Amino acid sequence: MSETTRRGFTSAAGLEVVIADRIHRGWREASIEVGIEAVAGKMELKLAERWAGEDKPRLILPGQAFKATLDGEIVIEGFIEAVDPEYDETDHVLTITGRERTQDLVDCAAVLDGPHEWKNIKLDEACRRICAPYGILVEAQCDVGAVFPRFSIEPGEAAWDTIERHCRQRAVLATGNGRGTLLITRSGLGGTGAGPIQLGGPEGNIRKAKGVFDWSQRHHLVVVRGQAQGGKVDGEGLYDVTNERKPVLVERHGTGPKAAQGTLRGQGRARDAEIGRYRPKVIIAETQGGGASFQERAEWDVRVAAGRSRRPTYTVPGWRGSTGALWRPNTMVPVADAYLDVREELLVAGVKWAVTQDGSLTELQVTRKDAFARIAEPASNQGQGKKKGGGLMGGEGDFYEDDRGRFVRLKPGEQPPPGRSKP
């Protein structure tokens, strides 16, 4: 790893891209972007058409395989999509874009001549069948939930649309790992991140920041209902049978003793406590399912909407954090930003490694740690003195400020040293 004297700053010479078995350097600008919500990472390069001291132009064509490394670590593999030359009498520049191998899932059909429906199959096995013709592996990093009694593919549906639609029904995420493997995962499973993100002070590493705080897609109540009607029960309307032993009347179909029988149909409901006015949302589940899975889907939808409504993006020097590791998506990092009143551990949702005129930089998009959680966290710690974060981000504090003004992460259940308190 080649480092300058500036902490965290890595020389741009550490970026190498192998295209058609030839190493290319000499970037004017470069960026590689990956994220927890992106099935395919992407790369964009601007470079001189000839190497210094060479007469032959670089022969780079769409469709060629590429591999990009940062200080020797592979961060993305895929195929060149477009090559755009720009030149005049004195200057020749190529702009090259490419995406991870999993791009084919976005662009191409889920099936060609095979069956459009499988029965009694788990999510990961169905994904493997879809991905196999493309040479893409599938890795499940979490429990993928119950078997699908019927896994259907719409005629002409793209592979990614099929996968993402069924992942929503099991409240999991599908994403690329940068190297052509499809990961089925949940938030935070990437572990501890490369280091803290801090505004100001001796350990501060935030060069620039921006944020998006938008509540337009949040609702006070989210209701998920099944498509199919179930059995009948004597009553006066639609019943929630999340608890099969105690159906709850949720929609009245009539009054009096001659009212129509009630219809048993699975349903899940979740509330967003931060939305104080009437803003309901009803989701009709894509397939039949049990009440429990509908409840998980409703809770997941609320938390995803809340997470997407709060997204700061921080620019830090270099490609590595204070631990020496590369910044990676789906990892947890402590963030201390007095301007946004943020002092908590957040999820890295997206990473953009870049080479610019200012050197090598990384853009980190972060969000609340529960943004993609499957179910609500237990409320057992309420009233125990754990301070809620304020300002635009909300959430809870998970570290303390030491005598040098640095923020130190606390392990689960750990308390600050005497005389120190959680911010």
Question: Could you give the CA distance from residue 408 to residue 401 in angstroms, rounded to a whole number?
Answer: 6
Whole-number Cα distances in Å, 82 to 51, 63, 90, 369: 20, 8, 23, 36
Query: Can you tell me the mean pLDDT for 261-279?
Result: 78
Model pLDDT for residues 160-182, shown as the tens digit of each residue: 999 999 998 888 889 999 998 99
pLDDT at residue 286, as a whole number:
60
Sign (positive/negative) of CA torsion 282, 287, 290, 292?
A: negative
pLDDT at residue 411, as a whole number:
60
Higher pLDDT among residues 51 and 152, named by residue: 152
DSSP character string of 379-391: -TTTTSSPPBP-T
Which residues have C-beta within 8 Å of that of residue 305, sequence separation ≥ 6? 217, 218, 219, 222, 272
Copy the structure tokens of residue 181: 């493997």
Copy the structure tokens of residue 347: 């999820």
Model pLDDT for residues 6-24, shown as the tens digit of each residue: 334 444 568 889 998 888 8
Mean confidence (pLDDT) of the chain: 79
- Indicate whether 384 pLDDT > 50: no
DSSP character string of 305-359: HHHHTEEEEEEEESSB-TTSPBP-TT-EEEEEETTTTEEEEEEEEEEEEEEETTE
299 by DSSP, 3-state: which? helix
Neighbours of 233 (CB within 10 A): 13
Model pLDDT for residues 226-256, shown as the tens digit of each residue: 765 444 444 444 444 444 445 555 555 455 5
**Residue burial 341-373, b: 16+ Cβ < 10 Å; e: rest:** ebbbbbbbbbbbbbbeeeebbbbbbbbbbbbbb
- Please say whether the beta carbons of 389 and 370 come within 8 A: no
- Indicate whether 26 pLDDT > 80: no
Question: Could you give the CA distance from residue 417 to residue 423 in angstroms, rounded to a whole number?
Answer: 13
- Indicate whether 218 pLDDT > 90: yes
Using pLDDT thresholds of 50, 70 and 90, give the confidence band for residue 60.
confident
Model pLDDT for residues 276-330, shown as the tens digit of each residue: 999 999 988 765 554 447 887 888 788 889 888 888 999 999 999 999 999 999 9
Domains of the chain: residue spans and CATH: 12-101 (2.30.300.10), 105-185 (3.55.50.10), 197-214+309-313+326-375+387-409 (no CATH), 221-306 (no CATH)
Long-range (24+ apart) CB contacts under 8 A made by 393-397 are 393/310, 393/312, 393/340, 393/341, 393/342, 393/344, 393/346, 393/368, 394/274, 394/310, 394/368, 395/344, 395/346, 395/368, 395/369, 395/370, 396/344, 397/343, 397/344, 397/422, 397/423
pTM, 2 dp: 0.74
